């Protein structure tokens, strides 16, 4: 395409109402109005461009079609004080590479900026935006029609957390990552085998630095081109949905990287970020912080979240680093932060932003969920805004994770002194809608893999890991496990390598994967284990006091009267013969699962498939079972 392509300034996608909503912070379909769009005007196909740059003196479109020279395709500013520049370039089609050349009205600033609303970007280290469409022939109608049940509070939600770039590599082709299309085959097959209900992707939104794992996002409307096109990513989601697997996306509205072609200092001013570094710069991540007090920025971010739900059929958004957004003094020393108008440390703009985000998500997509990664004791994160909550559907339970991993890392001989680390979580388990997360954060930066955290020889390590998962699946709350944990990876996670798939040739690792698969199927098939994950009525202690033997026993209850599952856990390597546990009903109790079965690599101790309840009172219950508790074992039983 030559430099002489004409440019038109009389074409717009924005109405006066769009501008009104945008300036109010209430326009949540911004990618339909801003960015680049393929369209036909008076019979001529071309591309319309629109960008918000209120402090610019001039803006033009530069690209591979005009030699990247700004004089060829100037944009015109709208006469409504919106700060939006527009133009239509006839004849310019899909696949064109472009940026906005911005001449600031402030100082002497000039820069070529990527499009904040681009659907597709060049692959890093290249930085141009690409004109693209969102056409895809979706085949997931059956999933979309039924997903309200699959995503809901009463559903068996167990999430497999995945980093796309290091799941599996192609050894024959320079050890590259799988593409989205290749991932559709390998990931779907593996998730079905392991029995998870959902997949959660670490941020796939376009990001310059691979080592950030996606948490330094620049393209808030584009899946990274490292693994293929937007349509390839849609095809991956489509395949998962067709196989009954939900999709959760990590999303980062808290901060963004300082790369010069991105959002930072966009029009020669701090447009997207706070100008004052005490509010606008994040020392931990060397990143800028979004200014959600600016209505247009709020609309930009909420539009991004809703975009993935709408155009990519995503089932849930997991919001990263919520704690950093709630506190003005997060990770800052005295004098490095600015109090709010009341003199407090709460970030009032972000609180309002998150409430609005959640209100809009559940208004427009009531069959999806929002999930908060929030590591403090901020109250009512997963309660509705009209009750004073933040409005998230669920929240990661960092306290349970921390206490549980601390307990499991101890030698069993000392565990009786730390029994409270296992039981404390129940006292607050129903204050939020919790997800029990054993995430990527627990297996990096020298923390070691879950298997390597376990004490003892190899046999005990594997038994401990099976017990950890048994405790997690018995405990109230939805489940999340990072990839590699499901087969007991030895090495801690490395984003530049693939998982240790070769371990699946070894029986102990096969046993872990079989156990996780059976736990997922039990969790799915037994309503008592999932229907009331967020309700106190769904949990009942039988005995939490036996610290000396390091044994816990509790019941999970479903909504149907009499529907119950008994969970008994032995946290020492000592088998417990004739261990009496009180139960509420007489008759035969079937052993549903036993982590010590030989199938999983255990020693084969158990209860021969079933136990008859005796009319002997125990633990203030009229009947009791005499059980064999396997060493470092988890046993699930149900009245027949």
Catalytic site positions = 320, 373
Compute the distance between CA of residue 115 and CA of residue 41 in angstroms, rounded to an integer: 22
Question: Could you tell me if 593 and 630 are in contact, meaning their C-beta atoms sit under 8 angstroms apart?
Answer: no
Reduced to 3 states, what is the DSSP secondary structure of residue 232?
helix
Question: Could you tell me if 346 and 352 are in contact, meaning their C-beta atoms sit under 8 angstroms apart?
Answer: no
> Would you tell me how many other CB atoms lie within 10 Å of the CB of residue 17?
9
Compute the distance between CA of residue 438 and CA of residue 442 in angstroms, rounded to an integer: 7
Burial of 433 (0-12, 13-18, 19+ CB in 10 A): buried
Q: In which element (H, E) is residue 421 found?
A: helix 420-428
Compute the distance between CA of residue 508 and CA of residue 489 in angstroms, rounded to an integer: 11
Report DSSP state, residue 123.
Answer: P
Question: Could you tell me if 202 and 162 are in contact, meaning their C-beta atoms sit under 8 angstroms apart?
Answer: yes
Compute the distance between CA of residue 22 and CA of residue 25 in angstroms, rounded to an integer: 5
Reduced to 3 states, what is the DSSP secondary structure of residue 428?
helix
* Ordered alpha helix ranges (H), 152-276: 164-167, 180-194, 230-242
DSSP 299-355: HHHHHHHHHHHHHS---EEEEP-HHHHHBTTTT--TTSS---TTS-SB-HHHHHHHH
DSSP 146-158: HHHHHHSTTS--E
């Amino acid at each position: 395409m030559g430099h002489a392509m004409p440019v038109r300034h009389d074409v717009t996608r924005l109405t006066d109402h769009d501008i009104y909503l945008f300036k109010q912070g209430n326009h949540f379909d911004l990618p339909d109005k801003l960015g680049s769009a393929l369209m036909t005007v008076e019979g001529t196909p071309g591309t319309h461009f629109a960008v918000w740059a209120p402090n610019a003196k001039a803006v033009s479109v530069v690209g591979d079609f005009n030699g990247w020279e700004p004089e060829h395709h100037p944009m015109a500013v709208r006469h409504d004080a919106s700060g939006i520049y527009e133009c239509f370039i006839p004849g310019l089609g899909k696949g064109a590479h472009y940026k906005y050349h911005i001449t600031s009205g402030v100082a002497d600033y000039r820069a070529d900026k990527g499009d904040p609303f681009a659907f597709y970007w060049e692959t890093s280290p290249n930085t141009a935006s690409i004109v693209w469409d969102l056409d895809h022939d979706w085949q997931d109608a059956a999933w979309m029609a039924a997903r309200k049940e699959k995503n809901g509070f009463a559903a068996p939600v167990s999430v497999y957390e995945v980093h796309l770039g290091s799941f599996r590599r192609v050894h024959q082709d320079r050890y590259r990552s799988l593409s989205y299309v290749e991932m559709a085959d390998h990931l779907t097959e593996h998730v079905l085998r392991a029995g998870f209900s959902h997949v959660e992707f670490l941020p796939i939104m376009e990001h310059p630095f691979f080592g950030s794992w996606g948490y330094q996002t620049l393209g808030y409307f584009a899946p990274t081109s490292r693994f293929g096109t937007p349509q390839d990513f849609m095809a991956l989601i489509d395949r998962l949905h067709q196989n009954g697997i939900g999709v959760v996306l990590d999303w980062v509205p808290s901060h963004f990287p300082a790369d010069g072609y991105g959002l930072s200092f966009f029009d020669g001013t701090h447009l997207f970020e706070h100008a004052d570094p005490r509010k606008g710069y994040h020392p931990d991540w060397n990143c800028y912080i979004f200014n959600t007090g600016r209505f247009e920025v709020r609309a930009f971010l909420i539009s991004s979240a809703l975009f993935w739900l709408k155009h990519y059929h995503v089932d849930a958004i997991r919001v990263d680093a919520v704690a950093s957004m709630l506190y003005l003094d997060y990770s800052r020393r005295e004098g490095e932060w600015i109090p709010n108008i009341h003199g407090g440390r709460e970030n009032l703009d972000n609180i309002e932003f998150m409430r609005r985000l959640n209100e809009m998500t559940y208004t427009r997509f009531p069959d999806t969920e929002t999930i908060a990664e929030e590591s403090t004791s901020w109250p009512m994160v997963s309660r509705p805004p009209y009750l004073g909550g933040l409005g998230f559907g669920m929240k990661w339970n960092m306290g349970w994770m921390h206490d549980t991993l601390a307990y499991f890392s101890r030698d069993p001989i000392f565990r009786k002194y730390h029994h409270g680390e296992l039981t404390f979580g129940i006292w607050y388990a129903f204050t939020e809608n919790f997800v029990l997360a054993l995430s990527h954060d627990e297996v990096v930066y020298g923390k070691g893999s879950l298997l390597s955290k376990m004490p003892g020889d190899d046999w005990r390590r594997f038994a401990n890991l099976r017990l950890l998962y048994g405790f997690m699946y018995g405990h109230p709350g939805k489940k999340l496990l990072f990839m590699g944990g499901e087969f007991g990876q030895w090495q801690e996670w490395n984003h530049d390598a693939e998982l240790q798939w070769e371990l699946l040739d070894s029986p102990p690792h096969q046993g872990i994967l079989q156990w996780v698969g059976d736990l997922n199927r039990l969790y799915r098939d037994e309503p008592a284990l999932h229907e009331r994950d967020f309700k106190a009525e769904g949990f009942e202690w039988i005995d939490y006091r036996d610290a000396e033997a390091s044994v816990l026993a509790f019941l999970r209850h479903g909504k149907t009267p009499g529907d119950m599952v008994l969970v008994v856990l032995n946290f020492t390597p000592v088998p417990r013969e004739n261990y009496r546990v009180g139960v509420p009903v007489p008759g035969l109790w079937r052993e549903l699962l036993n982590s010590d079965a030989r199938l999983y690599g255990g020693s084969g101790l158990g209860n021969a498939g079933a136990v008859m309840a005796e009319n002997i009172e125990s633990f203030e219950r009229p009947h009791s079972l005499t059980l064999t508790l396997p060493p470092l074992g988890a046993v699930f039983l149900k009245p027949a």
